[in-house]
A and B are shown apart, each in its own frame.
Chain A
Amino acid sequence: MKKRILVVDDEEGLRFLYKEELEDEGYSVELAASGEEALQKLEKDSIDLVVLDIKMPGMDGVEVLRLVKQKWKDLPVILCTAYPHYKHEFGSWASDAYIVKSSDLTELKDTIKDILGKR
């Protein structure tokens, strides 16, 4: 069975890119454009891992992370940010991994493989 990944990002181009790239890696990919949409999707579908952007209008990534971890304690979440300085603030206290966005998705792919491989 293919692992299902939910990508949450407000940027359409990025959602598209992540979908293409991760599908090439053999995952099935769901998309959400906002925190609210992500929570709805999580209620309906069974998801194996969430890739979550921090900076989004409305509910931001950190808020979403908190709600997700409250409800689905074991669901792995990878936080993504545009620039590394958020790292100090949120650290890795609640997310399973923390990644600085890049047009090279290798780090993200490796991290996903790592986390899902452990399960």
Chain B
Amino acid sequence: MEYDILAKVTGFLYSPGSLGKNLSKVARLIVDSFPFDQCAIYLWDEEHRLFRLKALQGVQKGSVETYREKEGIPGLVKKQRAVVEVHTPSQDDVSWEGVEDRGLFGFRSAVVYPLREGHRWHGMVYLKSSKRLNLPARKRRILEFLIFQVSCVLKYNKMFRNLRKAYEELKKMQAQVLIAERLLPLGEMAATLAHEIKNPLISIGGFAGRLARKLPHDSPYMPYVKNILNEVERLDEIMKGIVSISKREEPKFYREDINSIVNESLDFFNEVCRIHDIKMIKRGDREPIYAMVDRAQLRVAFDNLISNAIQSMEKGGILKINTYKKDRWVVVEISDSGGGIEPGVEKNIFNPFFTTKEDGTGLGLAITNTIVKKHGGRIDLKNEIGVGATFSVRLPHHKP
């Protein structure tokens, strides 16, 4: 009979299936094999610092969902870090030696076992009996052994969860490394490949251009030629993009006023904004804000962000640019009122070749991100769906 209990509990605890289910089976076994009317197993929630009911077997009365750290008999167990055995004069009593616990209502005796390992708490087992309890020493030892087994299982469970968390994190990190690795060889290959492709491309485009000039304007073949020219230009843009994210192009850093670069970029888009009915608002520090940057590359970065913003506001809107110093950063914020980026799209926008635009290369943000990273900075996105997107570029500030 006793051997039976031990064999069973081991079977329950180490069987596959959810922890909650296995603990329920153990609780059932305790109620069936010992003179208790209720067995409640609680798990310790470290974050909220309370015990939470995980499994309950036997009668339902007087069951309590959670116990705060210092609440009731479990609170006492937590404090004393030892088993507490309670006997009350009648079933109506809900306090024992000054400790109140509504879980005692309807019972005469209770035993609460801590489930812990040194300072690390896993939970507790709350056993109640409606009659006064008198457990023979031998039975008590078996019960203790059983509880010890539960404790072990909880420990393994926690270890397993930690392991799984570490694994998930590792997997996430690996994904990031993969992206970086995908970009690297791309960059290596790009420079060579781009050179191989560029020359034939110039030939194609050059001769198509000659045709366009030599053909009569109303020639029916004109659209064919125009098509070739457009596609060549697109390919050329893509190749330029690939070359510029390739590793070979190292930035040359000089101390520059970020405001002046931003303003140049805004000047460049002034006309486009006017045509598309976009209001441009420049805010922030007027005086120079310095950072060590490659002026030409940073201009490309701002151009890409501003052109994305403008493209998101086809029917007009507001383009807000804010530049300021914050701690050791120079921050440039570019916001649009173009409705933001769809949830499914957002995670991809920095990937090379990802685009939702008919004629996009999908390299704009990939390039921008690479440039900003090379400068020791980073890009943050505040995406307000239905409202607009704000891209903030942070660059290390350079003291004058």
Using known A-B contacts A82-B198, A85-B248, determine if residue A21 contacts B210 with beta carbons closer than 8 Å: yes
Chain B residue with the shortest CB-CB distance to A85 = B249
Interface stretch among A12-20, A61-69, A71-79, A111-119?
A: A12-20
Q: Tell me which residues across on chain A come within 8 A of B208, comparing CB atoms.
A: 103
CA distance A101 to B240 in the complex (A): 12
CA distance A105 to B213 in the complex (A): 13
Chain A residue with the shortest CB-CB distance to B252 = A88
A42-101 contacts to B, CB under 8 A, are 55, 82-83, 85, 88, 101
Q: Tell me which residues across on chain A come within 8 A of B191, comparing CB atoms.
A: 83
The answer to whether A103 touches B202 (Cβ under 8 A) is: yes
SS of B interface (majority): helix
Using known A-B contacts A20-B210, A21-B206, determine if residue A83 contacts B194 with beta carbons closer than 8 Å: yes
Is B232 an interface residue when CB atoms closer than 8 A count as contact?
A: yes
Chain A residue with the shortest CB-CB distance to B229 = A103
Q: Tell me which residues across on chain B come within 8 A of A83, comparing CB atoms.
A: 191, 194-195, 198, 240, 243
Within the complex, what minimum Cβ distance (angstroms) separates A13 from chain B? 3
Within the complex, what minimum Cβ distance (angstroms) separates A99 from chain B? 12
Q: Tell me which residues across on chain A come within 8 A of B240, comparing CB atoms.
A: 83
Q: Mark B143-183, 1 if CB is under 8 A from A, else 0.
A: 00000000000000000000000000000000000000000
The answer to whether B209 touches A104 (Cβ under 8 A) is: yes
Using known A-B contacts A21-B206, A85-B243, determine if residue A13 contacts B194 with beta carbons closer than 8 Å: no
Q: Tell me which residues across on chain A come within 8 A of B252, comparing CB atoms.
A: 88
**Additional pairs, 12, CB under 8 Å, beyond known A83-B198, A101-B198, A103-B201:** A14-B199, A14-B206, A16-B203, A21-B206, A21-B210, A82-B195, A85-B248, A85-B249, A103-B203, A103-B208, A103-B232, A104-B206
Is A11 an interface residue when CB atoms closer than 8 A count as contact?
A: yes
Using known A-B contacts A82-B195, A85-B248, A101-B199, determine if residue A17 contacts B207 with beta carbons closer than 8 Å: yes
The answer to whether A11 touches B232 (Cβ under 8 A) is: no
CA distance A103 to B232 in the complex (A): 9
Within the complex, what minimum Cβ distance (angstroms) separates A41 from chain B? 21
CA distance A55 to B198 in the complex (A): 12
B212-251 contacts to A, CB under 8 A, are 232, 236, 240, 243, 248-249
B108-136 contacts to A, CB under 8 A, are none
CA distance A11 to B210 in the complex (A): 18
The answer to whether B206 touches A11 (Cβ under 8 A) is: no
With an 8 Å Cβ cutoff, the count of chain B residues facing the other chain is 23
The answer to whether B209 touches A11 (Cβ under 8 A) is: no
A1-28 contacts to B, CB under 8 A, are 9, 11, 13-14, 16-17, 20-21
Q: Tell me which residues across on chain A come within 8 A of B201, comparing CB atoms.
A: 103
Using known A-B contacts A85-B243, A88-B252, determine if residue A11 contacts B194 with beta carbons closer than 8 Å: no
Q: Tell me which residues across on chain B come within 8 A of A103, comparing CB atoms.
A: 201-206, 208-209, 232, 236
Chain B residue with the shortest CB-CB distance to A105 = B206
Is B200 an interface residue when CB atoms closer than 8 A count as contact?
A: yes
The answer to whether A14 touches B248 (Cβ under 8 A) is: no
Q: Tell me which residues across on chain A come within 8 A of B243, comparing CB atoms.
A: 83, 85
User: Which of A9, A82, A85, A104 has a CB less than 8 Å from the CB of B205?
Assistant: A104
The answer to whether B200 touches A13 (Cβ under 8 A) is: yes
Using known A-B contacts A83-B240, A83-B243, determine if residue A11 contacts B195 with beta carbons closer than 8 Å: no
The answer to whether B199 touches A11 (Cβ under 8 A) is: yes
Q: Tell me which residues across on chain A come within 8 A of B249, comparing CB atoms.
A: 85
Q: Tell me which residues across on chain A come within 8 A of B232, comparing CB atoms.
A: 103
The answer to whether B202 touches A101 (Cβ under 8 A) is: yes
Pick the 4 closest A-B CB pairs, nearest first.
A103-B205, A13-B203, A82-B198, A17-B206
Chain B residue with the shortest CB-CB distance to A9 = B199
CA distance A13 to B203 in the complex (A): 6
